[in-house]
Structure 1
Amino acid sequence: MAHPDIAAPLPEYDIEVGTLVIGAGAAGMIAALRAYETGQDVLVIEADPLPSGSTALSAGLIPAAGTKLQQEAGIEDSATLFAQDIQKKARGENEQALVDVLAHNAAPVIDWLMQTHGLPFSVVTNFDYPGHGRRRMHGLPTRSGEELINALRGRIEHLGIPLICERRAVTLYAQTGRVHGVQVMRPDGAAETIAAQRTILACNGFGGNRQMVSRYMPEINESLWFGHDGNNGDAISWGEKLGAATRHLGAYQGHGNVAHPHGILITWAVITEGGFQVNAMGQRFWNEAQGYSEAARAVLSQPQGYAWSVFDARIANIARQFADFKNAERQGALIWADTLDALDEKCGFETGSLRQAVAARPAQGEDNFGRTWSEQHLNGPFCAVKVTGALFHTQGGLDIDPKSARVRMKSGELFQNLYATGGAAVGVSGTSDSGYLSGNGLLAASVLGSIAGLG
């Protein structure tokens, strides 16, 4: 694979387009749809045989405040409350202007995708996500990122927007703050050149590049990589060579609830609805209410680097709205027992371990780990899933102007025609894993994709 490179502009190119989008994940395809609607000549290129990216590996949920769906469900929410939740989770480490842009534009993007493109979103109304003060997660029927990718791809194809797969961008032709074109490689090794009036980097982050992970987030270097292998840091590499500014490269989304060894994501709803985690000895070890991103490090720090998530049949029924959870059931990842003592035996714990863990929970108020409980009693049959921690995607990236999604130079000036969205751009998760609020990745992908596409 060729390394991301920068070269001087060419005198001529094989083809010319108005807007070139590099990457066909959610961010790239949303950008393409927006650009198409404004009459731009659009081309999307994708390195993989089919659009996928990190979106396809996610639950496909986009948080938004003030949507028509929320109003119909009787949920009172606002962009101001949403922005406050984002900043609270990230301890105020985000650029406020970026937070405000994302919080205020998320609802219009959801409404647009529904009304103009027919995507059948609905609000998750039967459980809460950590850090969100309102129920504002929007997803498609299967709560699957793959369904979201396929729906967006369907709209791209229906509208006749050119999307060419198996074309990896390797070189940006640039000079004095302007990108003139791109060189792409075909599967047969031949090169093609594309001139573009605007270039949108939607080629995701760098979680699949172990050298960059070791450099910027060494604490998660040994974790399972659960993202898309195309997250190899091309946008950051190009940006550094062009003199672009970067921000929060140590930020990432982890997840401490990946079924092991099955490699299937278990929704964090099994925890928020009253479940908990124990280590290999059947003992609780942390405050699970902090969030699933922090859970990756918490779980990996335990003996043998795994834990067990424990919940009951009521919670499992809630989790079954997610395709991943049903897949985990089919793959045999869930262990069931009528009593906690029987579950101890099946999991290899000393008898009474889980009873002790449950007994230590107060009916209401804080436990010894600082987790606040309400009346969420567990009743048999009980379930346990062996899980490990994983790196899902990076949250730092190229610094951008929030109003336009144009990339900033280190000097503070903006590139004339270079844009970044999704994992290629800085997100709103602060400087580490603990600032990640559920849905931050697709929030940035959808809103910044829409802004970049509009130009």
Structure 2
Amino acid sequence: MSGLDRSAVAFDVEFPVVVVGAGAAGLTAALAARDAGAEVLLLERDETPRGSTSMSQGYVCAAGSKIQRAAGIEDDAERFYADIMARTRGTANPDLARTVSDNAGRAIDWLVENHKIPFEMNLTWGGFFGHSVNRMHGVPSKRGEELHGALIRAAEEAGVNLVTGAHVDKVFADETNTVVGVRVRRADGSEELVGCQTLVLTTCGFGANLEMVKTYIPSFGQAANYRYFGHEGNEGEGIEWGRDLGAALGSMDAFQGYGALTEPYGIIANYDMVMNGAVTVNIEGKRFSNENADISAQALNILAQPEGTGWIIFDDARRAIVENLPEFRDLVTLGGVRTAPDADQLAALIRVPPDALKDTLAEVEKMTRGEMACPFGRDFSKSAPLSGTLHALKTTGALFHTQGGLKVNSKAQVIRADGTPLPNLFAGGGTAESISGTGCNGYLPAAGLCMAVTLGMLAGASAAELAASA
């Protein structure tokens, strides 16, 4: 990475607000800045914007939105804040948690009302995993591509200057650490120097930078069966630029893992089936964890198994729960769902010891009937036994998103260790510190896109206000 440059240069063009990265955070920041009246340049390194947003299921957790209230769900910022702090065992940055919980619902309402983003509640979502109520705002297709596309359409309609194939590889600043511009490189080797009055960094996290992962998240980066499932552009550039300007870093060991990435397809297995009674076994045919304790931490549990893989076992009743979800339909088309009439034949199909699998399923049936306790602490009391035709999906654990980054204040302005803000630098999404506390246990479902749209909204509005006053 070329990093920070303090050279005095002549810029080819200048904008009041420059945003780097056209994921959900960058697009939201650009929309907010435009709503505040600023001229905005949004720079995206890829020729076609995709990134982590398009790879997601498009869900945003938020409290107190009008959509949530219309669905009869009672929730508010105080309850969301309490859930964040409880989930992270008090390790989340309380000021940031308060900022996010206070503004996430407002961000959803603004995106729906001002920019026609088609959010709706996912009322079928069956597990809260730290959310005390359902906060899952998604788009109709339940795909991140739809959300990303809707945000791009909104940005175009709002007059955002979106330039793709524009890789920012250098940030220029003066002796006071005021950012004055960036260098943009093109695929053909040409470059442009773009001046700015304010800079918003939304380059996501550092999951694709193995050295940073090894440094900040050794539990994952040094795992024997390490997997990364994220955009290859998430190299931590924005975080390193901010650090070099004097920014404080926060929650750098926090991450979102996922313990149900299908092999070899690289498609997520919809966890709804596991929430409702499906189980995961290793290649020895044995369960090894409480599958419902923590989706994120399950990634490390499964990577610790032989070959770093396992099998989700489910029946027709659980299959019906996910049958119409896009990821499951893709897996069916690709032949990823293995099916057999009984445990013996399924064991032969997936090559696990048949006696071990039958014993495991017999124990699970006893647990659902209350005849024995789960050795891993899972509550099966509300689950029906697996029965009839059985299915299996081969899965592994993967790092999805890093959750640490630049510390920001309530305006999404990047701050130093003493809490004072850098002159004109803002951050959002995976470039900023998240609400996940430390490690992998504090990640709340849909927190990634919550951080993106919430801090994006705040960063864009604040950057536009600062630029206007310059």
* TM-score, structure 1 as length reference: 0.96
Return the alpha-carbon distance in structure 2 between the equivalents of residues 94 and 375 of structure 1: 32
Q: 2:322 aligns with which of 295, 319, 337?
A: 319
Structure 1 residue runs without a partner (length 5+): none
1:211 equivalent in alignment to 2:192: no
Q: Please show how residues 154-193 of structure 1 align to structure 2 within 5 Å.
A: 154-175=153-174, 176-193=176-193
Q: Please show how residues 30-429 of structure 1 align to structure 2 within 5 Å.
A: 30-126=28-124, 127-175=126-174, 176-221=176-221, 222-361=225-364, 362-363=367-368, 367-377=374-384, 378-401=386-409, 403-429=410-436
* Aligned-partner residue type, residue 447 of structure 2: N
Q: CA deviation at 1:11?
A: 5.0
* Aligned-partner residue type, residue 21 of structure 2: G
Secondary structure of the residue that 2:368 maps to in structure 1? coil
Q: Deviations over 1:99-134 (max 9, x none)?
A: 121112111111221222212222111222322211
Q: Deviations over 1:314-366 (max 9, x none)?
A: 22222244322221121111111232333222222222433432332323775
Q: 1:445 aligns with which of 419, 427, 452?
A: 452
Structure 2 residue runs without a partner (length 5+): 463-470
Secondary structure of the residue that 2:419 maps to in structure 1? coil
Q: CA deviation at 1:450?
A: 0.5
Is the Cα–Cα contact under 8 Å of residues 34 and 159 in structure 2 kept in the other structure?
A: no
Comparing 20-29 with 247-256, which one deviates more in the overlay? 247-256
Return the alpha-carbon distance in structure 1 between the equivalents of residues 161 and 396 of structure 2: 40
* Aligned-partner residue type, residue 423 of structure 2: Q
Comparing 9-18 with 84-93, which one deviates more in the overlay? 9-18
Return the alpha-carbon distance in structure 2 between the equivalents of residues 11 and 214 of structure 1: 36
Is the Cα–Cα contact under 8 Å of residues 100 and 454 in structure 2 kept in the other structure?
A: yes
Q: CA deviation at 1:251?
A: 1.0
Is the Cα–Cα contact under 8 Å of residues 129 and 269 in structure 1 kept in the other structure?
A: no
Secondary structure of the residue that 2:436 maps to in structure 1? coil
Secondary structure of the residue that 1:18 maps to in structure 2? strand
* Aligned-partner residue type, residue 290 of structure 2: N
Is the Cα–Cα contact under 8 Å of residues 169 and 183 in structure 1 kept in the other structure?
A: yes
* TM-score, structure 2 as length reference: 0.93
Q: Deviations over 1:289-338 (max 9, x none)?
A: 22221011100000111011112222222224432222112111111123
Instruction: Provide the aligned length of Structure 1 versus Structure 2.
Output: 452
* Aligned-partner residue type, residue 201 of structure 1: L
Is the Cα–Cα contact under 8 Å of residues 412 and 428 in structure 2 kept in the other structure?
A: yes
Percent identity, please.
38
* Aligned-partner residue type, residue 82 of structure 1: F
Secondary structure of the residue that 1:196 maps to in structure 2? strand
Return the alpha-carbon distance in structure 2 between the equivalents of residues 20 and 90 of structure 1: 33
Secondary structure of the residue that 2:184 maps to in structure 1? strand
Q: CA deviation at 1:9?
A: 5.3
Is the Cα–Cα contact under 8 Å of residues 7 and 173 in structure 1 kept in the other structure?
A: yes
CA shift in 2, pair 1:359/1:85, >3 Å: farther
Is the Cα–Cα contact under 8 Å of residues 203 and 424 in structure 1 kept in the other structure?
A: yes
Return the alpha-carbon distance in structure 2 between the equivalents of residues 313 and 77 of structure 1: 34
Secondary structure of the residue that 1:80 maps to in structure 2? helix
Return the alpha-carbon distance in structure 2 between the equivalents of residues 119 and 239 of structure 1: 31
Return the alpha-carbon distance in structure 2 between the equivalents of residues 122 and 382 of structure 1: 33
* Aligned-partner residue type, residue 336 of structure 1: T
Is the Cα–Cα contact under 8 Å of residues 96 and 435 in structure 2 kept in the other structure?
A: yes
Return the alpha-carbon distance in structure 1 between the equivalents of residues 278 and 192 of structure 2: 53
Q: Deviations over 1:364-415 (max 9, x none)?
A: 77511011123311333222100011111100001111x1111112343211
Is the Cα–Cα contact under 8 Å of residues 143 and 321 in structure 1 kept in the other structure?
A: no
Return the alpha-carbon distance in structure 1 between the equivalents of residues 151 and 181 of structure 2: 26
Is the Cα–Cα contact under 8 Å of residues 285 and 354 in structure 2 kept in the other structure?
A: no
* Aligned-partner residue type, residue 65 of structure 2: T
Question: Deviating runs (4+, > 4 A) in structure 1?
Answer: none
Q: 1:433 aligns with which of 440, 446, 467?
A: 440
CA shift in 2, pair 1:279/1:32, >3 Å: same
Q: Deviations over 1:404-436 (max 9, x none)?
A: 111112343211110010010000111111111
Return the alpha-carbon distance in structure 1 between the equivalents of residues 136 and 425 of structure 2: 30
* Aligned-partner residue type, residue 170 of structure 1: D
Comparing 313-322 with 223-232, which one deviates more in the overlay? 313-322
CA shift in 2, pair 1:419/1:9, >3 Å: farther
Is the Cα–Cα contact under 8 Å of residues 50 and 148 in structure 2 kept in the other structure?
A: yes
**Residue number in structure 1 paired with 2:465:** none
* Aligned-partner residue type, residue 24 of structure 1: A
Is the Cα–Cα contact under 8 Å of residues 169 and 185 in structure 1 kept in the other structure?
A: yes
Comparing 80-89 with 360-369, which one deviates more in the overlay? 360-369
Q: CA deviation at 1:441?
A: 0.8
CA shift in 2, pair 1:444/1:330, >3 Å: same
RMSD: 1.6
